[in-house]
Structure 1
Amino acid sequence: MQYPPSIISSTTLRLQSLFETDNLPATNLESLHFKLARVILHLLNTDLAKLLHILYRIDVEERAVKEAMIADDQELIAERIARLVLKRELQKAELRQRYSGK
């Protein structure tokens, strides 16, 4: 699905805030997904509790997170979780834009 730049920008800013990083600037979803997966991989390896807290705040479905974590490859897990996070944050950005009248 194609998203307008305003949705991608809004999602990027929100994720930077949630993940407390400024390493996410992206011009497209593919780039944002890649950068987000790197941040998630770092948290998987250094601070799993923080990552789980962020996922809870984002309201990513617990069942989906558990399924995403079934793998031996940490990079694959990070990519799956990044996809879930992006999907949820894009949904929320669309709703905010739709109901703000912009």
Structure 2
Amino acid sequence: MDARAVGQRIKAAREKKNMTQEDLAACIDISPTHVSVIERGTKIPRMDTFVAIANVLGVSADDLLVDVVDRATAGVASELSAAIEALPHEERMRVLKVVSVLVDR
């Protein structure tokens, strides 16, 4: 498992919520130093800590483990689908054409 990549995604999600390491640590009852160690990928969090982090940050485990778990692509596909759906019709068709070319390789 790429603990560093997972830690970077945790950090990005935390920063997106405008939380400090201290804020996150207080919410899940661990030390700020422990949050730092997790975000740097030095240590893999226990399952209960990982779940607490995901819940506090409002992200799915798929979002944090996207390159670790084979089935995590479902969440990415859902986000991509929503983004495409929000486009104007002409741009949506252009994106679908590009994706079709890439898939047919």
Tell me which of the two structures has the higher relative contact order, counting C-alpha pairs closer than 8 angstroms and 6 or more residues apart.
1
Superposed pair shares fold, TM > 0.5: no
Larger radius of gyration: 2
Q: TM-score, normalised by structure 1?
A: 0.33
